[in-house]
Structures are given as structure tokens and as C-alpha cells.
Structure 1
Amino acid sequence: MNIAYFLSILVFSPLLGVIVLSFVPKVNESLIKLIGFLATLPALILALIAFFQYRAGASLENLSEKVSWIKFGDQNLYRGAFTIDYELGVDGFSLVMIVLTALLATLAAIASIYIKKEWKGFFMLFLLLEVGMLGVFAAENLILFFIFFEITLIPTFFLIGKWGYFEKEKAAFSFLIYNGLGSAVLLIVIMVLFSKTGTSNIDMLKSMMAADIHNQGMSAGTKMGLLIAMLIAFGVKLPIFPLHSWMVRVHVQAAPPIVMLHAGILLKIGAYGIIRFGLGIFPEQFQDLAVIIAVLGVINLLYGAFLALIQTDFKMVLAYSSISHMGIVLIGLGALNEAGIQGAIFQVVSHGLIAALLFFLVGALYERLGTSNITNLGGLAKGMPITAGFLLAAGMASLGMPGMSGFVSEFMAFLGLFKVMPILAAIGAIGIILTAVYLLRAVLGITYGKAHREFVGITDIQKAEWVPALVLLGVIVLIGVYPSVLSESLTSTLETIMLGIGG
């Protein structure tokens, strides 16, 4: 971890793959896919090195980078001069998210065996998307965060619109419009903060807001307005009801590797932003909105669960399930206690893994059978027993079965809410029951339901497909039986958050 510019190398390492791919003939499919996969490995290796050294006691401050970047005006002559530095750094939470991003990017690169055309363009955009996702979690100031945030939008738009399914263009433009509007709102928030405080450094903003230093121009109403705007901006990404319709289209129409990254990482940027910036920079105002946030979480949970219950397409079930599960993040944050916030962060990581596994499996089924309709997939246990086994395990993880990561996150989030809002928590618990109903209905209907087709000539998952399935399921079980692998890494982050809200 003493390598100079360690985080910069980690974040930008996928660009090496983009450079190499530019010299490879576009018709050489096998070589392009190999390079695309190999280009994701440096970031994964470096992220794991940082993670294990941190768990061994190394300080994350050693990874921080700061380089003078942009200056407005003369610092000596002009009182209103501004400076924007190139700043990268991580805490326990952002390091966990970087590891999750690097892991899912590598597994999604393996899942890109399903891509049937223009592999060179696909992987160049794919690797650029990985750079944006890694940068979002490593950025130490809001302007750099916003730049990386925007970098994720462009490749995602093209990856959905060009390599998706039947209504891919509609899904891509829906993604762009909603997320573009969310970005515009976020940019306004960042510019107001920057103009009022003279800094975009996240730690400095937290300190200044806490001490109310150099904040004469920011009334309590202004701060509340900025927090609400930030919640809207990140609420589009999460998504929070009713800002969700674009996400359903993307989950149904995008190619499997892109949905793995979208459900596993891109949605989590919304949760990360709310936790790190909303709760971190505006803790007092966040406390004033805690009840509303918890109510929105329960609405998300119940709304997604009810709609998932009536779907006949498995992709639609999983799309609405994502909306429902993101409600648990809001429930944990609305509790505003250590159990709730830790449950919310656990849910961010847990759902990233579970959603990626489920969408990988449904992608494998679609490639072989040409459908994701639950009825048409009936009898899978006889025709594709290994895939059916993984699907059952993933379904159990998603509904929160003990011994898997979903149970830990849901238990902690609801434990936190029951401590402060027991009636609301009891209402939200209905969503947990519904989750079991719609997931068991869908998964059991696919695996053991009546077969409406022959599986003659249909192969079970192949060697390369075993890797994402086994790795994701293994990590899900690891967190479920040994939560400390995650909680120990989040201790300092939780302490900082609780100190900010006076907990």
C-alpha cells in the first residue's frame, strides 16, 4: 500500500485495456473477450490488497492523494479565489464499495460471453464504465465525484442502447433522461456548496457544516433545501418511489453483464451518496427528515413487493424486487441509530451481490431458452439441475434466509427501526413476508413448476459460467455466516456517522 498513487493506478487501470483493445482487430472475438477480462484484474487485485492490509491494521490515510489541479483567481490578490484539487482517498465504506465494484466488474466481464456482436466497442465502453464506478467511490471532493459520476452515464447509455434486447433504445433514453436530470440537480447542489464555502473537499465540508464556520450565507433553510435536492438527485439513482420507472426498463432490456453492474453497483451509488454526503454533510437536517425517509423506505419496500407479486416475467420480478430491497436501505437510514445505519450499509453490499447473481442466472436462462417468462421456464430442475440449484440458493439469499447476507442486513435495518418507530417497522415487516411470497412463487415456479417445454439439447451452465455463480454465492454465504468480515471494516465509518448525528 506504499505504492505512489496507488488509488489512481487502481481507478484508471482499466484504461490500459481500452488502449490495448484499440490495436486489436474488431473481428477477433476470443482475443477481445480475453483482453476485456484481463483488464479488470489489476483493479480487483489492488482492491483486495488494500482491503486485506486494512483489515490487518494498515491506515487508509496512506492511500490518500492530493495534487493541485484547478485554481480560480490569485490567492493573494482576490479574496474570492477558489481551488479544486485532484483528491483521492478511501474510508472503510468506500473501500468495501471499491472491492465490490472491482469484483462485479471482473465477473460481469466473464458474463460478457453472452455478447454476440461488436465486442471491441462493448469492452471499451465496459472498461470506461468501470473507471467511472471506481472513481466515484475513491473521489475525496464533490467535483471529482461528479466527474466520475458523469463518466458512468455515457458508457451505460450506449451499453444499454446497443447491446440490449427488443426495447433497448427506449430503456437507454429513459435511463439518460432520468439520470441526466438527477445529475443536473446534483450539480446545482455542488455549485452552491462550493460557492458558499470555497471548498469541495468532503471532509472539510463536514467539518465546516458541523462547526458552522465560514457558513454565514447558509441558513438552516438553505441547508435543508440542499439536502432535499441531494436526496432527489441520489433518489433517482437508488431509486426512491416514484422515481423508479426508468430502472425497471433497464433491468428488463439491458444485456446480462450490464444489468449485473447496474443492479450491483450503479444503483448503489445512490445509497452511497445519501449516506456519505446527505447524512455526512447535513446530519442535523437529515435527523429532521428521518421519519420521512423511513416512511419512503416502507413505501419502497411494500410497493416493490406488491408489484413483484403480480409479475409473470422473472426479469420484472427481479426489477421490482430491487426497488423493494432498496427500501430497506432507506429504512435503516431513517432509524438513525447504529444498528439501522449498519443494516443499510450491509444491505447496499448484500443486494449488490445477490442482484448480480440473480441477473446473471436469468441471463444464462434467457440465452438458452429465449424467454424469461416464469411459466415457460417451468421444470428447470429436471432440464438444468445445476442452474436450478444456484437459482434456489440465490432466491433464498434474496428473501433473507439465515446464513446468507440478506438476513444480516434486513435484521439489522429493522432492528434499528423497531427501536425508534415500532409501528412503522411493523408495517414494513409485511414487505418481508411479501418478499418471501413473490420470490418463492417465482423461483419454485421455475425450478419445480409444470414443464411447458422440452429441455432436449439445452445445456446446463458451462465451465466459464460456474465462476460468477460460485464466487457470488460464496461471498453471500461468507457475509451471512461471518458478518465481521464486513462490519469490522465499517467500524470507523459508523463511528464518524454516529458522532455527526450525536449518537
Structure 2
Amino acid sequence: MDLSFVLTLLVFSPLLGIAVLAFVGKSNEKSVKLVGFLATIPPLLIAVGTYLHYLWGKDLEDFSVRAEWIQFGGFTEENFFSVYYELAIDGFSMLLVVLTAVVATLAALASWKVNRELKGYFMLFLLLEVGMLGVFTAQNLILFFLFFEMTLIPMFFLIGKWGYFEREKAAYSFLIYNGLGSAILLIVIMVLFSRLGTTNIDILQTLVKDPAAGLDEPITASVKMGLLIALLVAFGIKLPIVPLHSWMLKVHVQAPPAIVMIHSGILLKIGAYGLIRFGLGIFPEQFKELSVIIAILGIVNLLYGAFLAFIQKDFKMVLAYSSISHMGIVLIGLAALNEAGIQGAIFQVISHGLISALLFFLVGVLYNRLDTSLLANLGGLAKGMPIASGILLAAGMASLGLPGMSGFVSEFMAFLGLFEVMPVLAAIGCIGIIMTAVYLLRAILGITYGQSHREFTAVSDLKGVEYVPAVTLLFLIVLIGVFPSVLGSPLQSALKTIMLGLGG
């Protein structure tokens, strides 16, 4: 059976929801919310179907599609400058597609608290999902870039129109920083395209590693290093790497909770995906040369985020700095350049996507009821919201790396990899792990069992559809922690490719 249509259907199926929403009246809020939510179900089912396809022992290449798209012509008989419509997935990108579909569906449920201009909100939401799914399935750099850009505009409006008090400042900060990253990425793509005549990711990996393969003028080592540094900056803004992080803090605090679920859970992971797929995948030798610098950047991220999270008074800011700290673990794992480290980095990408989505969902629940996220105003919450407080505590334990939860697996492997090659830096990084426990326990125990400054007995606990995101995300976090092979098994082929590129 020909399955080449599946990825196209996966990526563009949310557009059907946008088309239906165009015919739904603005005043019919229940129908708008229902259509917005239901439109996220087809990509979720298809994404889960790709995972089941893998579990049944079938090849993920069955989903690959390649068709003529843009041809410049006139340069050579073989039409040297051609861009193809290419979609494909491997184990790594499949897991990110599943993560994207799951978080998008749960964020759509969390959006039921949005109470103004719902039609525009869900249209932008679904367009954002198209961009995210496209980023992780694109098989050439130009298509990747187009989907990458597709995520920026909806996100800009979702922050700027439906966010909190300083939403416009946060939206412009998001757009400026990410726009600069996009410009740098575009320069890299154009250099590779003009020199190698292709933007196909697999072909680029071969040509850059063996530049004499059919090329009159191979790319020099200095140009490769320059391109890798440019990629490090472009995706470092997205990750983010300190000091390119200030925009992210504004977004995490000012964007509506459902959008922060997507931003922290998925969009930040595009930075990690780009570093792994393009930085490490296309320029492995140059990545080796920068490994110590990348490890140091990871340690800086880890410690900087952890220490500043400790002194924050707003729970949103605690979680924002926590995200910076946890992205440092991704850099640490990649810098190790061994199987344990790289697998730990990828595990951290998936794990943090689930944990951060759960934490920001719970922040949205608390803010909706109490109109505050200040730690001083949330003490003793367990009296009035015991279930929400219990899930919050569990999410905090996962974030600090409690064994039996996904955070432990990713942190253990990333540090194991770094200890093998850079034990001194790894030992310094362990301070960040200790600080993570300190700031998370301080914040979450203060919220749940700390001194109460107001009466919460009249506040309602989780109810109705709110249980679905909370329970689903917590289940997945525990599942990965107890049974990590649900991630590890699909990653083996991708890891093998990366290690071969590194000469391992």
C-alpha cells in the first residue's frame, strides 16, 4: 500500500479546521471551540499511527514523499538548482511529531478558557500546528525554513493579542529575536544551496562529509566552521542559549497559558532539533572542534537558569528560568559526542516538552482561578485544590529528575555521556542539578503546603476537561520514566546515523 500521502495529510490536516471555522459564526463560541479542538485530532491520530507503524516492525521510509516543486533551470542539463517537495521521518522526528500532536491537542483543550475573539484565536492556533508539524517532517532545508517561518507569524499574534498586560512587548521581542535567527538560517541555506546545488538533508550530509563527491570546488573547513557557528547562533536563539534568552522570559510570562504550553513544549525544541539534525548531522567534524565550547555554554545555561530561578517571586518566572536551565542539559549531552550523551539530549527534548507543558497548564489553571502567579499569594493551596496540588508536586518531581520519571532518564544519560569525556565540566554541572531540586522544591512546596495568605477553601479543584491534559501528560512522563525504551527503541537508527557521521 502506498503511504506516501500520509505525511502530507498529517502536516496539512489542521487546514481543514481553518476552512470549517471560516463558516462558523463568531458569536457561536461553543462551536468554534469544538471545531478548534476537533481539528487537532486527525494529526494526533496520524502521528500515533506512524508510531504504531514502527512498532509493527515496518519501515518509516514508507511515508517518504518526493515530488518536483521549484525548478530554476538553465544552469546545467541536469537542472542543477531544483527544490523538491520532500517529507520524511525517522525515529527522532517521529517522536517529535507525536509530541507536537499530543501537546497541540491538549493545548486546544486548555484554550477553552479563552473568552474573546475565539475564531481568530483557533485559526492562528491551527496554522501554528501546521508549521510545527512541517518543521519536523521537512526533508530539505528550504521546506524546513518555510515551515519554520510559518510558526512565527501565528505565534506573534497569539502572544500580542491574547496575552497579558505586556503582551505586545513580548510579541515584538519574540518576533525580532526569532526573525534575526531566521535571517541567519536563511544565509546558511543559501550558501549550501549555491555551493552544493541541493537542500536535501541526506544528500547534504554526504556532500559535506565527502566534498570531493562530484564537486568542482569543495567547501573549505573554514567555511564549514563559519556555517556551523551561524547555525549555532540561529538555533541558539530558539533553544535558547544564554545570552540570547531574554525574549523567551517575556513570552513565558505574558503569553496565554495554552500558548506557553506549545511554546515551551514544542517551539523551543525546534532549536534543539536544528542543532542535532543540521549542526551535528551536516557538520560533525566541526561540531567536534566546538564540543568544549558547547559544553561550557550548556553549563552556563544550566547554572544561570537554576540560580536565577531560585530568587524569582513569580512562579511563571521560576518555570521560565527552569526551561533555560533544562535546555543546558541538551547542550551538555550533545557536547559529549557519544551515544549516551546524544541519546540523553534527545530524551531531554521529549521529556522537557511534556513536563513544561504540564507545569504551564497547571499555572494556567491557578491563574484562571486566583488571578495571580506570585508565590507569596499561592501558599497553602493544597487545602482547597488537593488534586491540582498533587499533580503539580508530581510534575515538579519529574522536572528535578526523580527516578521513575522521564526527567531522571534524560539527565542521567546526558551527564553520563559528559562524564566520559569532560569529567570536570560534568562535575561543575552537577551543581545545577542540586540547584534544580532547591528552587523547584522551594517554589512548589511553598505553593502547596506553605503558609497560607488567603482562604482557598472556596476555590474549585480540577474539573471536567481539565483532567485530560493533566492526567495525560503525567501518564506519559511516568511511562517514559518507567519504560524508557518507548523512546530509546525508535531512536536507535537515528543515533546510528549520527555516530557514523562522527566516525563512531
The TM-score normalised by the length of structure 2 is: 0.98
Alpha-carbon separation, structure 1, partners of 2:298 and 2:275: 13
Alpha-carbon separation, structure 2, partners of 1:76 and 1:307: 56
Tell me whether 1:184 sits opposite 2:183 in the alignment.
yes
Alpha-carbon separation, structure 2, partners of 1:244 and 1:76: 44
1:415–1:466 Cα change, 3 Å: same
User: How far off is 1:415 after superposition?
Assistant: 0.2
User: Does structure 1 conserve the Cα–Cα contact (< 8 Å) formed by 2:11 and 2:134?
Assistant: yes
Which shifted more, 201-210 or 453-462? 453-462
User: How far off is 1:75 after superposition?
Assistant: 6.0
User: How far off is 1:463 after superposition?
Assistant: 1.4
Tell me whether 1:26 sits opposite 2:21 in the alignment.
no
Alpha-carbon separation, structure 1, partners of 2:216 and 2:108: 46
User: How far off is 1:52 after superposition?
Assistant: 1.2
1:143–1:365 Cα change, 3 Å: same
Tell me whether 1:44 sits opposite 2:44 in the alignment.
yes
User: How far off is 1:74 after superposition?
Assistant: 3.1
SS of the aligned residue for 2:240 comes to coil
Aligned ranges for residues 10-409 of structure 1 at < 5 Å?
Answer: 10-74=10-74, 77=77, 81-212=80-211, 213=213, 214=215, 216-409=217-410
Which shifted more, 199-208 or 453-462? 453-462
Residue identity over aligned pairs, in percent, reads 70
SS of the aligned residue for 1:86 comes to strand
- What amino acid is the match of 1:32? V
Alpha-carbon separation, structure 2, partners of 1:62 and 1:28: 42
User: How far off is 1:73 after superposition?
Assistant: 1.8
User: How far off is 1:113 after superposition?
Assistant: 1.2
SS of the aligned residue for 2:85 comes to strand
Alpha-carbon separation, structure 1, partners of 2:98 and 2:326: 21
SS of the aligned residue for 1:375 comes to helix
1:4–1:495 Cα change, 3 Å: closer
User: How far off is 1:457 after superposition?
Assistant: 2.9
Alpha-carbon separation, structure 2, partners of 1:237 and 1:114: 28
Alpha-carbon separation, structure 1, partners of 2:120 and 2:386: 35
Q: Deviations over 1:445-491 (max 9, x none)?
A: 00000110112431111110000000000000000000001000100
Alpha-carbon separation, structure 1, partners of 2:375 and 2:153: 33
User: Does structure 2 conserve the Cα–Cα contact (< 8 Å) formed by 1:328 and 1:413?
Assistant: yes
User: How far off is 1:55 after superposition?
Assistant: 1.9
SS of the aligned residue for 2:376 comes to coil
Which shifted more, 49-58 or 178-187? 49-58
Alpha-carbon separation, structure 2, partners of 1:215 and 1:376: 67
Runs of 5+ consecutive residues of structure 1 not aligned to the other structure: none
Alpha-carbon separation, structure 2, partners of 1:81 and 1:289: 33
User: How far off is 1:254 after superposition?
Assistant: 0.3
Alpha-carbon separation, structure 2, partners of 1:423 and 1:447: 37
Aligned to 1:8: 8
What RMSD, in angstroms, separates the aligned Cα atoms of the two structures? Answer: 1.0
User: Does structure 1 conserve the Cα–Cα contact (< 8 Å) formed by 2:237 and 2:244?
Assistant: yes
User: How far off is 1:3 after superposition?
Assistant: 3.5
1:396–1:321 Cα change, 3 Å: same
Alpha-carbon separation, structure 1, partners of 2:27 and 2:454: 35
- What amino acid is the match of 1:109? A
Alpha-carbon separation, structure 2, partners of 1:80 and 1:3: 28
Alpha-carbon separation, structure 2, partners of 1:501 and 1:19: 46
Q: Deviations over 1:8-58 (max 9, x none)?
A: 000000000000000000111111000000000000000101111112211
Alpha-carbon separation, structure 2, partners of 1:6 and 1:382: 48
- What amino acid is the match of 2:183? A
- What amino acid is the match of 1:307? L
Alpha-carbon separation, structure 2, partners of 1:76 and 1:252: 53
User: How far off is 1:275 after superposition?
Assistant: 0.1
- What amino acid is the match of 1:136? V
Which shifted more, 424-433 or 449-458? 449-458
SS of the aligned residue for 1:70 comes to strand
- What amino acid is the match of 2:224? K
User: How far off is 1:125 after superposition?
Assistant: 0.1
User: How far off is 1:349 after superposition?
Assistant: 0.1
User: How far off is 1:409 after superposition?
Assistant: 0.1
Where do 4+ consecutive residues of structure 1 move more than 6 Å?
Answer: none
SS of the aligned residue for 2:377 comes to coil
Q: Deviations over 1:406-459 (max 9, x none)?
A: 000000000000000000000000000000000000000000001101124311
User: How far off is 1:76 after superposition?
Assistant: 5.1
User: Does structure 2 conserve the Cα–Cα contact (< 8 Å) formed by 1:403 and 1:480?
Assistant: yes
Aligned ranges for residues 423-442 of structure 1 at < 5 Å?
Answer: 423-442=424-443
Alpha-carbon separation, structure 2, partners of 1:400 and 1:257: 24
Alpha-carbon separation, structure 1, partners of 2:4 and 2:210: 34
Alpha-carbon separation, structure 1, partners of 2:216 and 2:288: 20
User: How far off is 1:60 after superposition?
Assistant: 0.9
User: How far off is 1:114 after superposition?
Assistant: 1.8
- What amino acid is the match of 1:466? Y
Alpha-carbon separation, structure 1, partners of 2:457 and 2:57: 55
Aligned to 1:454: 455
1:423–1:249 Cα change, 3 Å: same
- What amino acid is the match of 2:142? I
SS of the aligned residue for 1:50 comes to helix
- What amino acid is the match of 2:438? V
Alpha-carbon separation, structure 2, partners of 1:356 and 1:16: 25
Aligned residues: 502
User: Does structure 2 conserve the Cα–Cα contact (< 8 Å) formed by 1:304 and 1:323?
Assistant: yes
Alpha-carbon separation, structure 2, partners of 1:291 and 1:216: 30
- What amino acid is the match of 2:220? S
SS of the aligned residue for 2:191 comes to helix
Q: Deviations over 1:272-324 (max 9, x none)?
A: 00000000000000000001001100000000000000001000000000000
- What amino acid is the match of 1:404? M
SS of the aligned residue for 2:450 comes to coil
Runs of 5+ consecutive residues of structure 2 not aligned to the other structure: none
User: How far off is 1:59 after superposition?
Assistant: 0.4
